[in-house]
């Protein structure tokens, strides 16, 4: 849709609810960093295999 995820997240997340708890856990555990590092490792390995 081209819309930011933040407005949708706000619509479906009740403070103190289950979705809030999951998203808060992701934030605390730095999920974005974990996923970024995993994708970088895969891309690096792909380049190595392509040589």
SS3 category, 11:
helix
Residues 25-47 have pLDDT tens digits of 999 999 999 999 999 999 999 99
Which tokens sit at 10? 């706000």
pLDDT of residue 1: 61
Round to whole Å and give the CA distance between 16 and 43.
37
**Helices and strands, counts by H and E, the chain:** 3, 0
Quickly state the pLDDT bin for 9 (edges 50, 70, 90): confident
């Amino acid at each position: 849709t081209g819309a930011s995820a933040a407005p949708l997240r706000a619509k479906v997340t009740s403070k103190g609810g289950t979705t809030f708890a999951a998203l808060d856990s992701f934030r605390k555990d730095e999920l974005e960093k974990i996923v970024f590092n995993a994708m970088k490792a895969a891309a690096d390995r792909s380049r190595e295999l392509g040589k």
